[in-house]
Amino acid sequence: MLQQHALVHSLVDPFVRLLGAQRVLSARSDLMVYECDGYVIEKNSPDIVVFPETTEEVVQVVRLCHAAGVSFLPRGAGTSLAGGCLPVGGGVMIVLTRMRRILEINHRDRYAVVEPGVVNVHLTQALKGSGYHYAPDPSSQGACTIGGNVATNSGGPHTLKYGVTVNHVLGVEAVLADGTLITCGGPTEDPTGFDLTGTLVGSEGTLAIVTKVWVRLTRDPQGYRTMLGVFDDLRDATNAISAIIAAGIVPAALEMMDQGIVRALEEAFRFGFPLDAQAVLLIEVDGLEAGLDHQRTQITNICREHGAREVRLAADQVERQKLWKCRKQAFGAIGRLSPSYCTQDGVVPRTKLPEILDQIIAIGQKYDLSIVNVFHAGDGNLHPILLFDERDPAQVQRVLRASEEILDACLACGGSVTGEHGIGVEKISFMNKMFQPGDLAAMERLRVAFNPENRLSPHKMLPTAGACGVEQLHPQRRAAL
């Protein structure tokens, strides 16, 4: 590894010649910001961080890395939660946040072209008043970049009706690991040839570095009905969720918050959530005004039939936005509950929600941990939040074990170990559990076709990619290699 660090440092001068000293960081104190993303259990500094501003600069940076034989990886805003932009083993980090131009908004043909560093919400703001929006809205949308959304195939609360990032990406321009610039797709639908756009979305930066994205724009709904269903029993709430889906209603969003999270939110935002309720469902339908009240009545009736104490309707747009603000900032409110927390991201078939929540409660009791839940219930996408104090090593171990058991339980229900956060480094050890050797061999072949020398984002996603899925008992050990 020492050899690699020396090799990487030989690139400082060429990078400075290419980008100027302002856009190249190599001093240890400057690099600390880049030692992790939202996954903080493992940390490691890159050797160099560069800030290209154009596609051509990305191409040149990658060519220099390729020629020198050093590893490199892209980074957006660093909000990802699975260590996707953790520089395992060091190397060059290519930060794309300065490529933040919206290149085109085409109203008639319903697409926009953006650079990868455009912040998700900035595109939404640019579209305000046009009658269109960019549908994927992850909770971190105020900070996360569209390039990062493409890398992780981001979701968000509204994916239940509108789909995830890949359903809204028409094409990408990207730089391969040897510096070759490619374009897949573009403003038209159904490009001839393999769906390389769909293959690149969600590949977590292991196949190419995206430098331009064509996104589909979605018509704004005419109206909304946003409801709060208040339940005295957790199981009643999950049964109501299954019943809503089974009735053929497709809400725009269907989120669940348990008592623990509701209490934290109430303390933080004073919305007026009932503190004694075991579960609160946040349900939103959108679309044509002509159909909304019918759907609202249906949902209200289903909730009542399943034991809801109360179904409250957001009175106006202000109240609706406040509700969503609470939901999207839920993770911020958790600081009130404990010094540290670990958010999991499992998925189960929607009808298995009652079963899996019972298991999560039992796992929490077994490891003597508080676990609160706020999640995308309509998709079956769970986010159990394990509360702990990272200064206590014994608690850290219990959190890791409980997390693993929760994800194993999701797999046993026929689910997945990640619905939207990605594999990154965090979940590499689960790939062998979720996939058969033949599946992983095929994934390796796909990786080799794009990134044959594995210098682009090594040690990520695949257990064969160099990270062997060791037990996470010694934070930082693996990251530093």
Partner 1 sequence: MPASAVTRPDTNTLTPADVPSLVELIRAAAAEGAALFPVGGGTSLPVAASVAQGRWVHLTELARVIDYPAADMTITVQAGMRMGQLREILAEQNQQLPLDVPQSSDATLGGVIATNFSGPRRYGYGTARDYVIGIRAVDGHANEFAGGGRVVKNVAGYDFCKLLTGSHGTLGIMTEVTLKLKPLASHRAALLVAPANTEQLEAMLSRLVDTSAQPVAIEWLTGDYWRRYAAEHSWPGATEAGWLVLYFEGLASEVAWMTRTMQDDWAGVGPRDVVCLEMSDANRLLSDLSEFVAVSGEVVFKANVVPSRTVEFVRQIASDVPECSIQAHAGSGIIKIAIPELPASGLSGHVIGQWQPLAAHSGGNVEAIKHPANSEFTARLRWGSPAVPRELMQRLKQQFDPKGILNPGAYIV
Looking only at residues 346 through 375 of this chain, which bind partner 1 when binding is defined by CB under 8 A? 347-351
| 289-328 residues near partner 1, rule: CB under 8 A | 289-291, 294-295
Main-chain dihedrals φ then ψ at residue 138, nearest 5 degrees: -55, 155
Of 80 and 141, CB closest to partner 1: 80
Euclidean distance between CA atoms 457 and 67, whole angstroms: 16
**Closest by Cα among 185, 198, 214 to 106:** 214
Q: One symbol per residue from 389 to 418: x for binding partner 1 (CB under 8 A), - otherwise; what is it?
A: -------------------------xxxxx
In sequence order, what DSSP letters do the residues of 215-270 get, joined into one string?
EE-EEPPSEEEEEEEEESSHHHHHHHHHHHHHTT---SEEEEEEHHHHHHHHHHH-
* Residue 179 binds partner 1 (CB under 8 A): no
Euclidean distance between CA atoms 74 and 440, whole angstroms: 23
| 19-78 residues near partner 1, rule: CB under 8 A | none
Of 44 and 239, CB closest to partner 1: 239
Among 422, 426, 455, 479, binds partner 1 (CB under 8 A): 422
CB of 372 to partner 1, least distance (A): 21
Contacting residues for 432 by C-beta, under 8 A, at least 6 apart: 440, 463, 469
The span of 62-70, 90-98, 278-286, 446-454 binding partner 1 (CB under 8 A) equals 446-454
Among 202, 229, 364, 384, binds partner 1 (CB under 8 A): 202
Among 245, 261, 334, 374, binds partner 1 (CB under 8 A): 245
Q: What do you get for the CA distance between the two ends of the chain, in Å?
A: 8
Q: One symbol per residue from 116 to 145: x for binding partner 1 (CB under 8 A), - otherwise; what is it?
A: ---------------x--------------
CB of 214 to partner 1, least distance (A): 9
* Residue 177 binds partner 1 (CB under 8 A): no
* Residue 287 binds partner 1 (CB under 8 A): yes
| 322-351 residues near partner 1, rule: CB under 8 A | 347-351
Euclidean distance between CA atoms 143 and 150, whole angstroms: 14
Contacts 24+ apart (CB under 8 A), 99-105: 99/52, 99/53, 99/54, 99/55, 99/58, 99/147, 99/211, 100/145, 102/126, 103/212, 105/130, 105/217
CB of 462 to partner 1, least distance (A): 8
CB atoms within 10 A of CB 401: 16
Among 6, 246, 473, 480, binds partner 1 (CB under 8 A): 246
CB of 154 to partner 1, least distance (A): 9
| 145-174 residues near partner 1, rule: CB under 8 A | 152-153, 155, 159, 163-164, 166-167, 171
CB of 480 to partner 1, least distance (A): 26
**Closest by Cα among 158, 154, 238, 168 to 198:** 168
**Residues binding partner 1: number (CB under 8 A):** 91
Among 64, 65, 257, 423, binds partner 1 (CB under 8 A): 423
Among 40, 68, 121, 434, binds partner 1 (CB under 8 A): 434
CB of 367 to partner 1, least distance (A): 24
* Residue 443 binds partner 1 (CB under 8 A): yes
Of 393 and 414, CB closest to partner 1: 414
Contacts 24+ apart (CB under 8 A), 96-105: 96/52, 96/58, 96/145, 96/147, 96/209, 96/211, 97/51, 97/145, 98/23, 98/51, 98/52, 98/53, 99/52, 99/53, 99/54, 99/55, 99/58, 99/147, 99/211, 100/145, 102/126, 103/212, 105/130, 105/217
